[in-house]
């Protein structure tokens, strides 16, 4: 029977982990202070439950081999951070906060022109710690190319934040929603999240330091109705389920990769 223990960490106003979405991990390195700042402090992790089970892993990966040999690279600041949908809104605000803290940030969005403009603006304010590239999270090839871009420019990513989302700029009953709007919402919020989680996980399995994936939820994620944007609410409810499913996949291989849900609702 696997031993387990619990850690309780004070939440911060910066980011809040949903209390209903407990992150499972194995001896998380982000619980320990690193140069005065830990991932737990940065992300306001409210509760982290730690479990351990020794099982074989096939095929082998860099992070698993490093875990077995005891050669895990410490995850210390400055962190390399990737944020999808980060040329405006919450994603852009997060990028600025990480840059203020001295981290390296990759931003992306569907518009190459907007990415170029925002990168230029952020560099003027924060210096050469920001990179950017076009990425449509609805397209598997774009997400794979995003990983390649990060590996080329930063070698690895410590923190991957899945922020990209859409409500198709539509607030109306489901019966009045167009095919195009529904497809836009579902492909961006559900398919896009799946593609990003898959590629983030595959990349972090090649990193001996592991990594941390954060999925941002939204209205509807807690099960409450969203009558004027039902499709959006349904997709955000799926964020929690997908995250929990990934947690249960990787808890059993005892590796340094963590997945959490971020909640910006009051």
Enzyme catalytic residues: 232
Q: DSSP class of residue 221?
A: T
- Helical packing angle, 140-154 and 192-204, nearest 10°: 40
Q: Which residue(s) pair with 160 in the sheet?
A: 82, 213
- 21 with 166: CB under 8 angstroms? no
CA 135 – CA 2 distance, rounded (Å): 41
CA 136 – CA 188 distance, rounded (Å): 8
User: Nearest to residue 79, comparing CAs of 169, 183, 1, 156?
Assistant: 156
CA 39 – CA 48 distance, rounded (Å): 12
Q: DSSP class of residue 253?
A: G
Q: Which residue(s) pair with 131 in the sheet?
A: 106
CA 91 – CA 114 distance, rounded (Å): 13
CA 24 – CA 166 distance, rounded (Å): 28
Backbone angles phi and psi of 145, in degrees to 5? -65, -35
User: Nearest to residue 199, comparing CAs of 149, 255, 251?
Assistant: 149
Q: Write down the H helix ranges in the chain.
A: 39-43, 62-69, 89-100, 112-126, 140-154, 179-186, 192-204, 230-250
């Amino acid at each position: 029977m696997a031993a387990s223990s619990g850690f309780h960490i004070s939440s911060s106003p910066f980011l809040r982990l949903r209390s209903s979405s407990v992150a499972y991990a194995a001896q998380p390195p982000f619980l320990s202070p690193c140069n005065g700042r830990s991932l737990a402090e940065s992300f306001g992790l409210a509760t982290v439950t730690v479990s351990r089970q020794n099982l074989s892993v096939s095929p082998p990966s860099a992070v698993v081999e490093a875990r077995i040999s005891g050669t895990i690279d410490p995850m210390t600041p400055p962190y390399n951070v990737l944020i999808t949908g980060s040329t405006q809104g919450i994603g852009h605000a997060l990028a600025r906060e990480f840059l203020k803290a001295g981290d390296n940030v990759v931003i992306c969005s569907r518009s190459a022109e907007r990415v170029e403009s925002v990168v230029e603006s952020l560099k003027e304010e924060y210096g050469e710690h920001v990179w950017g590239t076009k990425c449509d999270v609805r397209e598997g090839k774009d997400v794979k190319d995003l990983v390649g871009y990060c590996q080329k420019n930063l070698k690895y990513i410590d923190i991957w934040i899945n922020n990209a989302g859409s409500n198709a700029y539509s607030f109306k009953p489901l019966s009045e929603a167009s095919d195009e709007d529904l497809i836009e919402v579902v492909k961006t919020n559900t398919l896009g999240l799946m593609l990003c989680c898959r590629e983030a996980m595959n990349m972090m399995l090649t990193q001996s330091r592991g990594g941390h994936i954060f999925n941002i939820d939204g209205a509807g994620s807690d099960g409450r109705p969203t009558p004027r944007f039902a499709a959006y609410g349904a997709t955000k409810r799926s964020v929690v389920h997908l995250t929990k499913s990934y947690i249960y996949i990787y808890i059993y291989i005892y590796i340094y990769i963590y997945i959490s849900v971020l909640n910006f609702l009051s």
